[in-house]
């Protein structure tokens, strides 16, 4: 009798365990189906703006450039794909502009030049993908790669021999950023990526560091490595049916930053709290199907990139002469404002 009861108890326990196992497998299969069903495919978009300004004066009493022509263009594009618990996104921001005037025999002078390309790949825990919590559904663990440079040579046009002395060019400098972190994206209009571990490499040609530091790369070197924290926030919205606003804020703190002893014996302060800043703002105004206007404002602060114009901090060298340490009229703060009116096309 005892053996019979034990057999019944063993069979009942086994059936219960088997049922629980089947239930767990069913829940896992259901979760897998829900995650795999989330396939939004590719979404693509972009904005192309090309502006043209032309002027002509003949025997004009008030004076001015006899002939002038300015052309500037901007392209902002993106492509993204969400499949299950994975997301892949790429962005490309390109800017270029030239100015031609009669007084310098129409030699082109650059008024804008920038390349900024990034790629992100994120994975979300599967139970977050179908979670009832919007916070969990909006967060991806993510890796980011970013490349920044420019198209052509840059010059300081205030110098009489500017053509012989470029101050920058393609790949000089070039910035490479590789970061691991998480992105919060509650909607298509807003996202914040934060990485506590971001490596940044600056590359320049040897000719730019022959006589001194350039773009943070020490004299005689061609590259510099930084390790720090990186934050990138993006926001876009339609203010009206004809006005679109895009904003981007990038912050980088270098854990390895330290004070530098400069010529003349004074110390230039630098530390992780001296944060690099890039803040982009752009308003796209649609006037007709192919005619539009664009207004852009960019601010850059980087302790390794002094402004183009120079002034002395008051420090003196061994001979008593003032040291021109390239602080610039605004310190290291760089500002750029552009306006264009012309061809506009939204992809």
Quick: pLDDT tens for 144-172.
999 999 999 999 888 888 999 999 999 99
For the chain, the structural domain boundaries read: 28-346
Record the pTM. Answer: 0.84
Determine the pLDDT at residue 188.
86
Helix, strand, coil content of the chain in percent (nearest 5): 15, 55, 30
- The two three-digit tokens of residue 108, written as one number: 């082109």
- The two three-digit tokens of residue 112, written as one number: 């804008």
* CA distance linking residue 48 with residue 41, whole number of Å: 24
Determine the pLDDT at residue 310.
47
* CA distance linking residue 255 with residue 314, whole number of Å: 29
Determine the pLDDT at residue 130.
87
* CA distance linking residue 45 with residue 244, whole number of Å: 13
Determine the pLDDT at residue 200.
97
Under-50 pLDDT residues of the chain: 19, 310-312, 321-322, 326-330
Residue 162 DSSP label: G
Number of neighbours of residue 104 by Cβ within 10 angstroms: 12
* CA distance linking residue 149 with residue 81, whole number of Å: 26
Beta-sheet strands, E only, within 84-128: 86-101, 109-123
Give the class (CATH, top level) of 28-346: mainly beta
* CA distance linking residue 314 with residue 298, whole number of Å: 29
* CA distance linking residue 223 with residue 228, whole number of Å: 17
Residue (of 18, 23, 149) closest to 95 by Cα position:
149
* CA distance linking residue 128 with residue 86, whole number of Å: 12
Number of neighbours of residue 77 by Cβ within 10 angstroms: 16
Helix (H, G, I), strand (E, B) or coil at 90: strand
């Amino acid at each position: 009798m005892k053996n019979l009861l034990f057999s019944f108890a063993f069979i009942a326990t086994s059936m219960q365990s088997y049922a629980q196992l089947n239930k767990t497998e069913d829940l896992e299969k259901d979760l897998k189906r829900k995650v795999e069903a989330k396939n939004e495919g590719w979404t693509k978009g972009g904005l192309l703006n090309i502006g043209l300004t032309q002027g002509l004066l003949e025997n004009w009493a008030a004076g001015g450039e006899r002939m002038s022509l300015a052309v500037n263009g901007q392209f902002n594009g993106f492509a993204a794909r969400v499949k299950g618990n994975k997301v892949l996104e790429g962005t490309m921001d390109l800017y270029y502009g030239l100015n031609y005037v009669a007084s310098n025999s129409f030699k082109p002078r650059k008024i804008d030049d920038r390349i900024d390309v990034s790629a992100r790949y994120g994975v979300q825990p599967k139970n977050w993908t179908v979670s009832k919590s919007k916070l969990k559904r909006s967060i991806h663990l993510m890796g980011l790669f970013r490349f920044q440079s420019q198209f052509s040579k840059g010059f300081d046009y205030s110098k009489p021999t500017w053509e012989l002395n470029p101050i920058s060019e393609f790949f000089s400098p070039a910035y490479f950023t590789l970061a691991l972190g998480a992105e919060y994206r509650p909607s298509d209009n807003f996202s914040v990526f934060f990485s506590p571990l971001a490596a940044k490499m600056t590359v320049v040609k040897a000719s730019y560091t022959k006589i001194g530091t350039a773009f943070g790369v020490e004299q005689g070197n061609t590259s510099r490595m930084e390790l720090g924290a990186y934050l990138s926030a993006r926001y876009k919205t339609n203010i009206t049916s004809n006005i679109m606003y895009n904003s981007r804020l990038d912050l980088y703190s270098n854990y390895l930053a330290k004070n530098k002893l400069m010529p003349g014996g004074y110390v230039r302060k630098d530390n992780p709290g001296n944060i690099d800043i890039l803040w982009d703002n752009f308003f796209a105004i649609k006037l007709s199907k192919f005619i539009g206007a664009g207004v852009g404002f960019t601010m850059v602060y980087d302790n390794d990139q002094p402004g183009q114009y120079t002034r002395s901090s008051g420090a003196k060298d061994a001979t008593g002469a003032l040291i021109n340490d390239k602080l610039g009229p605004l310190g290291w703060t760089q500002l750029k404002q552009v306006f264009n009116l012309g061809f506009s096309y939204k992809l």
